[in-house]
Amino acid sequence: TAKFIMAEQQAGKDNGVEAGDPKRLGELAKKSKKLELELVKRSKKEEELAKKAKKEEEIKRKKEEELAKKNKKKEEEKRKVVEEVFTKTRKEDEVLKKKKDVKNEEEKKNAENDKLRANDKATSKNTKIVNKGKTYCQACKKKCSGEVLRVQDKYFHIACFKCTVCKNSLAQGGFFFKDGVYFCTNDYQKQFGTKCANCGLYVEGEVVSALGKTYHQKCFTCARCRQAFPGGERVTYTGKEVLCAKCVQIPVRETQSLQSSPTSTSGTECAGCKEELKEGQALIALDRQWHIWCFKCKACGSVLHGEYMGKDGVPYC
């Protein structure tokens, strides 16, 4: 301010104004005071700007901390989901293994039944013979005389060849042999037989094993047209029902007709590989259409032909 006043005085001298002029001094004092006020305002403004910048920096730091916490929480949730999926997949694999074991046991039992039925056919022919030598009944251990029964390499009195359960004679009709004893057909089926999953009767002869269940060949039918599946024909399990090659096309055409005018699957995109579906290649599952070979377990990648589970529109075995 003093420099400003001195400069103004010098300017006054140059202009012919006396340095001690009261009027001039008053004007200089006003200018000096005004300058001081402006400097004070500028200083306050700079302080306010500094505070604002500091506050913004603090807000930015807090936001970054919150974002870091959110990202950490998301990563933790993602890790938990992955662990749950792996745990669930492992449990499902165990369940599937048990189902396969049950299926293998049923197939083994069916094979044994077939073998026994074959033995039945072989032994039911010409079992009555006339005893010509010294033979003993396998049941009563007494000497056989006259007409006896020969079952494989053993001999029985006709009256002694009985079912081990109901004690009825096995001399007429078929029988089963298991664990060293003989059974009539009814008692064998009650103890060791397998029931058809459709009609509930015991299965004999040719059987069909599917989805862990056993059926008479005539009872394993399409869920829609109710026709028995011809031997060797491809069948499709949708997760709810088993369909023949003709019926599996019906829902595909209906879905396509809601989207466009064509009546075949041409132009429809596979939900798995995203390529075009062609006639006879598609199945419907999880409300979408797939190539038969593209409908795979998300976890292990195996093609699904039977039961499956769906989560978020994705199939799992």
pLDDT tens profile 182-238: 888 888 888 887 888 888 888 776 778 777 788 888 888 888 888 888 766 778 887
Q: What is the mean pLDDT of residues 148-158?
A: 84
Q: What is the mean pLDDT of residues 161-183?
A: 85
Query: Per-residue confidence at 69, pLDDT binned at 50, 70, 90?
Result: very high
Q: Report the SS3 class of residue 262.
A: coil
Q: Which domains does the chain have, with CATH numbers?
A: 86-112+184-219 (no CATH), 221-317 (2.10.110.10)
Residue 153's alpha-carbon distances to 4, 121, 135, 149, 150, in angstroms, are 140, 15, 11, 10, 7
- Please tell me the distance from the alpha carbon of residue 199 to that of residue 196, in angstroms, as a whole number: 6
With a threshold of 0.75, does the pTM exceed it? no
Q: Report the SS3 class of residue 257.
A: helix
Please tell me which residue, 86 or 114, carries the higher pLDDT value. 86
Half-sphere exposure of 40 (CA within 13 A, CB side): 6
- Please tell me the distance from the alpha carbon of residue 181 to that of residue 172, in angstroms, as a whole number: 17
